[in-house]
């Protein structure tokens, strides 16, 4: 039996984008979303600006031609990059040209990188010749932060790092784990994963409850253990039990509420993917558009 598609069938497939990129004047690009002024004050925007200054635009914006007005385009993806280029005085940008007007975003179905994944990326960049200072400038962070992240897993056993590799943990978690012996690190990582709790407070409670023979002697050990007494641990346990009880109280309504929010989010995202609808809302009901966007942009229902 021949399972291969008929000859020439691949050539009949429609492409979502033109095969060649195009340099487009920035002033001819029409945004389909409203950029809130406070966005430019965020660390994310500053990192984008710094990255473009150091290495240029890595991820090209996506646009679609405006058939009602020649030589203009609707912006489908890359609003912050376009704004960063404007702030730097750029007048042109290389873009992907979409064939239809469906809003497209590269990041919509991607999970943000975790601390362990970021560590591996930094280590790989350093191995390939990039200095800590260059990486810091590109990410708009302090070089000391890059140094800390590059040594994130020093002293962490492989089993514990594997358990936390895809978890969004604050960096202090790993500093606390380094004060434990490997077996206790594994137990601590399993406790956090089992509870779904990756907060620094929970990790400190685990450290305080760790027997002396499972701790690595260090100048910080006595200080950290002394900061949390047995009475405080008992209080944390009582608070955890209270939180779990409250969680059970909302379990019955959570499923229905979650389903309603998921359907609403999906519907609004589909609605706003049509440029003519987004344009009408922007002109007639900008306040509605802002609220709809905030719901449609929810990255995690949980």
pLDDT, tens digit (0-9, with 9 covering 90-100), for 30-52: 998 888 888 888 888 888 888 88
Residue 294 within any structural domain of the chain: yes
Q: Is residue 216 part of a domain?
A: yes
Instruction: Quote the CA–CA distance of 115 and 99 in Å, as a whole number.
Output: 37
Q: Looking at the structure, do residues 67 and 28 belong to the same domain, yes or no?
A: yes
| Domain end call among 247, 273, 292 | 247
Given 247, 276, 294, the domain boundary residue is 247
144 and 162 inside one domain: no
Stated length of the chain: 302
pLDDT at position 83, please? Answer: 92
Residue 126 and residue 142: Cα distance in Å, rounded?
16
Contacts of 99 (CB under 8 A, 6+ apart): 14, 15, 16, 17, 18, 64
pLDDT of amino acid 223: 46
pLDDT of residue 221: 44
pLDDT of residue 228: 57
| Six token digits for residue 83 | 């704004």
**Tokens matching residue 206:** 């685990």
pLDDT digits (tens, 9 = 90+) for 91-114: 999 998 888 766 555 555 545 678
Regarding whether 162 and 120 lie in a shared domain, the answer is no
Instruction: Note whether 240 and 163 are same-domain residues.
Output: yes
Residue 253: inside a domain, yes or no? no
In a domain, 33, yes or no: yes
Q: Is 11 within the bounds of a domain?
A: no
Say yes or no: 230 and 302 in one domain.
no
pLDDT for the residue 51: 81
140 and 79 both lie in a single domain = no
Any domain includes 211: yes
Q: What is the pLDDT of residue 225?
A: 45
Q: Cβ contacts of residue 32 below 8 Å, gap of 6+?
A: 74, 75, 76, 103, 272, 275, 278, 279, 282
Task: Note down the domain range covering 69.
Answer: 16-98
Q: Could you tell me the CA-to-CA distances from 277 to 3, 24, 224, 241, 285 in Å, in that order?
A: 42, 24, 56, 48, 11
Same domain for 234 and 163: yes
CATH number for position 59: 3.90.1530.10
8 within a domain of the structure (yes/no): no
Give yes or no: residues 203 and 222 share one domain: yes
Low-confidence ranges of the chain (pLDDT < 50): 1-5, 7, 9-10, 110, 219-226
Let me know whether 214 and 263 are in one domain: no
Mapping DSSP onto H, E and C, the string for 34-89 reads CCCHHHHHCHHHHHHHHHHHHHCCCCCCEEEECCCCCCCEEEEECHHHHHHHHHCC
Distance between CA atoms of residues 274 and 279, nearest Å: 9
* Strand pairing class (29-31; 62-65): unpaired
- Is the overall model pTM greater than 0.75, yes or no? no
Say whether both 218 and 289 belong to one domain: no
Number of domains within the chain: 4
| CA trace torsion 86, 54, 145, 196 (10° rounding) | 60
Query: Do residues 97 and 17 lie in contact, with contact meaning Cβ atoms separated by under 8 Å?
Result: yes
Residues 181 and 207 in one domain: yes
Q: Is residue 55 part of a domain?
A: yes
């Amino acid at each position: 039996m021949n399972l291969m598609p008929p000859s020439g069938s691949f050539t009949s497939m429609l492409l979502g984008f033109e095969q060649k990129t195009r340099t487009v004047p920035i002033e001819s690009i029409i945004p389909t979303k409203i950029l809130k002024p406070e966005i430019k004050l965020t660390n994310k925007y500053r990192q984008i600006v710094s990255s473009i200054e150091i290495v240029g635009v890595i991820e090209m914006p996506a646009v679609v031609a405006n058939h009602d007005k020649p030589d203009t385009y609707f912006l489908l993806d890359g609003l912050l990059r376009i704004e960063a280029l404007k702030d730097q005085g750029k007048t042109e940008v290389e873009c992907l040209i979409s064939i239809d007007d469906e809003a497209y975003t590269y990041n919509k179905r991607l999970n943000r990188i975790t601390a362990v994944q970021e560590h591996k990326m930094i280590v790989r960049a350093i191995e390939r010749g990039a200095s800590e200072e260059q990486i810091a400038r590109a990410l708009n962070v302090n070089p000391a932060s890059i140094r800390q992240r590059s040594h994130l897993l020093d002293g962490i056993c492989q089993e514990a790092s594997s358990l936390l590799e895809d978890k969004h943990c604050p960096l202090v978690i790993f500093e606390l784990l380094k004060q434990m012996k490997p077996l206790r690190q594994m137990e601590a990582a399993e406790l956090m994963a089992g509870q779904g709790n990756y907060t620094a407070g929970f990790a400190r409670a685990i450290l305080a409850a760790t027997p002396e023979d499972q701790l690595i002697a260090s100048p910080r050990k006595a200080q950290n253990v002394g900061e949390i007494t047995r009475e405080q641990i008992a209080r944390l346990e009582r608070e955890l039990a209270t939180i779990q009880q409250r969680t059970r109280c909302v379990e019955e309504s959570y499923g229905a509420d979650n389903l309603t929010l998921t359907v609403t989010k999906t519907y609004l995202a589909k609605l706003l993917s049509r440029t003519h609808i987004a344009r009408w809302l922007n002109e007639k009901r900008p306040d509605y558009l802002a609220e709809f966007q905030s719901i449609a942009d929810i990255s995690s229902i949980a």
